[in-house]
Amino acid sequence: MQTGILALLGKTVTLMENLGFLWLVHTGFELDLWKLLQQERSKEELLELNPEWDPILFDHWLEQAKIQGLILQTDSKYSLTRIGKAVDFYRDFGLEAMYKEFVLYWGAIFAELPNRITTQVSPVQMESEMENELISKASRASEHFAWPLLKAKCEKEHWRRILDVGCGEGIYLRKLIEEFPKVQGVGVDVNSSVVERARLLAKPFEDRLQFNCLNILDQDAPVEKYDCCLLNNNLYYFSTEQRIELIEQIKTWLVPGGWIGILTALRGENSSIPFIQTHIPQNLMSFFLACHKGFEGLPYKQEVRNLLQDSGFREIEVIPLPLKVSHYFFART
Ligand SMILES: C[S@@+](CC[C@H](N)C(=O)[O-])C[C@H]1O[C@@H](n2cnc3c(N)ncnc32)[C@H](O)[C@@H]1O
């Protein structure tokens, strides 16, 4: 058999396996199976708890989850494997939102790709569930890696006043406020439902943390300048021209020697882990974003460097996060 055909067969089988993994994990979240299987249970016990479930389909789910290494079967009882436990653990760290995005939205967007490329279908408005909820939740996937860097930087540079642009639910500001008693934060986000959630979550810190709902491109100069401005997981919301405008604007809002921190996924970056040698995920994310109205996709590393350099920032540091899925750029005025 030709090697091309063998490689194609291999890819196709892997594709089926990966699609299976996606659907299994997503269904497990929707039906709360990752929680239920924290405890060893038989199929019969699980069906007793959920008498309305289809036993044939559920049997297939169990079989597939076992084949995919997500659950174990000992005699008639099922429990989670390490990877199954990790699925449950990372549920609220962006995993559930990310898988929901893939299942509900990526398929629909890419199904229309021929018509999109030939411009028979125009770029679409991003779905409101994606815009209001899933994107900001999915971006928590980089939190475990990004937080230690941000914490160390804040400590070293003695930041006091921090502006978080496109703050989403304000996770990073909240963590900074909790960690450093002298820090004061302002979060800005254009999406009112996201800001509502941010305010609610930050209630215990409201004397030091404030959230404003506005488009950062309409933001006036602050009365008091900031020591640091964060742009986490949102550079891709802005067009090339807006990126330039925004970074130049931010520079004027910082104290002399003040810092900018840009956390972003990049196009064309290979993973640093030998068994995940691919830049496909980021590039595919960029591709997905670019199918939407007002989105151009993810930036390249050089583009972010140029943006900072051309706006007069110096001491540019580029820190790849593990897996190189995202990078943190730090620079000062
Ligand atoms: C992926 S979320 C990231 C949230 C948060 N920074 C994080 O890393 O977890 C991007 C956020 O940027 C916000 N955003 C996009 N364009 C904006 C603009 N022009 N002004 C203010 N916020 C904006 C979106 O509403 C969204 O909540």
- Ligand 1 geometric centre to CA of 241 (Å): 17
Are 266 and 159 part of one and the same domain? yes
328: pLDDT strictly greater than 60: yes
Residue 219: CATH number of its domain? 3.40.50.150
Which residues, including other chains, have CB under 8 Å from residue 188's CB and lie 6 or more apart?
163, 164, 165, 166, 167, 211, 212, 213, 214, 216, 219
Mean pLDDT is lowest, of 9-23, 129-143, 238-252, for 129-143
- Ligand 1 geometric centre to CA of 137 (Å): 11
Give the predicted TM-score (pTM) of the model. 0.88
Residue 16: CATH number of its domain? 1.10.10.10
270-302 residue pLDDT tens: 655 555 555 667 788 899 999 999 999 999 999
- State the pLDDT at residue 154: 98
Mean pLDDT is lowest, of 165-169, 220-224, 290-294, for 220-224
- Ligand 1 geometric centre to CA of 112 (Å): 26
For residue 101, is it within any domain? no
* Residues spanned by the domain of 224: 142-272+294-332
- Ligand 1 geometric centre to CA of 188 (Å): 8
Which residues, including other chains, have CB under 8 Å from residue 216's CB and lie 6 or more apart?
165, 166, 188, 190, 246
Are 188 and 317 part of one and the same domain? yes
pLDDT tier for residue 142 given thresholds of 50, 70 and 90:
confident
- Ligand 1 geometric centre to CA of 73 (Å): 43
Are 83 and 159 part of one and the same domain? no
Whole-Å CA distances, 174 to 90, 159, 194, 197, 203: 19, 14, 14, 12, 10
- Tell which one of 136, 211, 289 to mutate to probe ligand 1, the residue whose CB is within 8 A of the most ligand atoms: 136
Average pLDDT over the chain reads 93
How many Cα neighbours within 13 Å face the side chain of 35? 7
Are 316 and 216 part of one and the same domain? yes
Atom 27 in ligand 1: residue holding the nearest Cα: 168
Is there an atom of ligand 1 within 6 Å of 135 CB?
A: yes
- State the pLDDT at residue 274: 55
Domain final residue, candidates 72, 89, 106: 89
88-125 residue pLDDT tens: 999 998 999 999 999 999 999 999 999 999 999 999 99
Whole-Å CA distances, 179 to 102, 125, 137, 265, 279: 34, 38, 22, 26, 34
Are 172 and 265 part of one and the same domain? yes
Higher pLDDT, 284 or 247: 247
List of E strands, 192-253: 209-213, 226-232
Is there an atom of ligand 1 within 6 Å of 333 CB?
A: no
Is there an atom of ligand 1 within 6 Å of 264 CB?
A: no
